[in-house]
Structure 1
Amino acid sequence: MKIFAETERFILRELLLTDVDGFFELDTNPEVHKYLGNKPVKNKDQIIDNINFIRTQYLSNGIGRWAIIDKKSNEFIGWTGLKFITDETNNHKNYYDLGYRLIKKYWGQGIATETALASLTYAFEELNLNEVYAIADCENNGSNKILKNLGLKFIEIFELEGIAHNWYKIEKAEFEKQSKLS
């Protein structure tokens, strides 16, 4: 099992098939999927397919979303991390996307911010990337607030599958500048 990063409260490690139950709890909740196209999964086979897909991204792209594991309870909280996007999105292709998704009972505890910050640190310090992008539904106030608090800059609104989304970007130099200030 590969651990990519740690925060004060969490281990960020590769997703494993043993995460099926936690991932199922996450992705069957309609509230979690409210701003993700309202398509919660229906069965654990879909989760297994998702985990296997992410695991192939580790091999193909050297990166993929990571499981968030609570250090105290060893529980699966959700996922965070980077994804290398090869399909065109908002006139961009072959870029790194920052994302996160938490089981609802863990919302509002600073977990997404804490683990996304660790993901950005990994992006700029370990992968030596020059920039990272993120997307959030315009109506998703929580996610938009997190991305802005992390220092991502709003670039524009674009349409994704018929829904208005915000397009964000952070560059390595800006991230390093912010890190020195905090």
Structure 2
Amino acid sequence: MMPNQPIETERLILRPVENTDLQGMFELDSDPEVHKYLGNMPIKTLDQAQEGIDYLQKQYKERGIARWAVVLKETNEFMGWCGIKYLIESEQMNGVYNVYELGYRFIPKFWGKGYATESAQAWVDYMFKEAGVKSLYAAADIPNKGSVNVLQKVGFKITDEFVFEWKGVKSNCYWLEQHQ
């Protein structure tokens, strides 16, 4: 399911997350702004960032797909991640699982420049045109207008609202879908 080589867009390289991304993952997930719509639980240590990398690498092996690093071509900087997660039953959202879900997360200095849209569009194109998937799903906190806007720009439609609960934190979310 995963591409067997990096995905390149005009400005970006999308590739599997590697252990060398540790500092970038820490910068991303320790930032309170990044976690504003993710339950306000930023990480505090490099070990926690490594756990996140290990979790993604485990998904690559077990599910054949997971979020990928997004790297700025011009500077080779780690910007965050974007990609597809295969939701298993224990990770269901809105009562849905065994589906492909698009997600992304970027370091704030890269916000507002179209990178999320560019990387999300690359994954939508790959999943529909190369992987042959017929449906993609996504979720976004209702107040996170930037994220909702990105999803709509790449073809997702809001189909439902639901309460997502994770680690005791509840969020009002949109459920979005796109079908081929």
TM-score tier by shorter-chain length is over 0.9
Q: CA RMSD in A?
A: 0.9
Match of 2:60 in 1: 58
Post-superposition Cα deviations, 1:10-52, rounded to whole Å, max 9, x if no partner, equal: 1100000000001111111100000001010010111111111
Matching of residues 51-130 of structure 1 within 5 Å: 51-87=53-89, 88-130=92-134
Match of 2:173 in 1: 165
Are 2:157 and 1:156 equivalent residues in the alignment? Answer: no
Instruction: Report the alpha carbon displacement of residue 126 of structure 1 after superposing the two structures with TM.
Output: 2.0
Matched-pair identity in %: 44
Tell me the distance in 2 between the aligned counterparts of 1:62 and 1:122.
Answer: 14
Tell me the distance in 1 between the aligned counterparts of 2:10 and 2:112.
Answer: 17
Q: Please, which of 13, 19, 35 is the counterpart of residue 33 of structure 1? A: 35
Match of 2:46 in 1: 44
Tell me the distance in 1 between the aligned counterparts of 2:6 and 2:74.
Answer: 18
Instruction: Report the alpha carbon displacement of residue 3 of structure 1 after superposing the two structures with TM.
Output: 3.4
Match of 2:16 in 1: 14
Counterpart AA for 1:72 = E
Tell me the distance in 2 between the aligned counterparts of 1:157 and 1:86.
Answer: 20
Instruction: Report the alpha carbon displacement of residue 91 of structure 1 after superposing the two structures with TM.
Output: 1.5
Counterpart AA for 2:70 = I
Match of 2:141 in 1: 137
Mark the runs of 5 or more structure 2 residues left unpaired by the alignment.
Answer: none
Tell me the distance in 1 between the aligned counterparts of 2:40 and 2:5.
Answer: 31
Post-superposition Cα deviations, 1:73-100, rounded to whole Å, max 9, x if no partner, equal: 0110100010001032212111111001
Tell me the distance in 2 between the aligned counterparts of 1:44 and 1:127.
Answer: 34
Tell me the distance in 1 between the aligned counterparts of 2:49 and 2:149.
Answer: 28
- With structure 2 as the length reference, what TM-score do the two structures score? 0.92
Post-superposition Cα deviations, 1:127-170, rounded to whole Å, max 9, x if no partner, equal: 21110000000010100111111110100110001221000000
What's the secondary structure of 1:19's corresponding residue?
Answer: helix
After TM superposition, the runs of 4+ consecutive aligned structure 1 residues lying more than 4 A away are: none
The number of aligned residues is: 171
Tell me the distance in 1 between the aligned counterparts of 2:17 and 2:148.
Answer: 25
Match of 1:5 in 2: 7
Counterpart AA for 1:43 = T
Counterpart AA for 1:16 = E
Whether contact under 8 Å (1:63, 1:82) holds in the other structure is yes
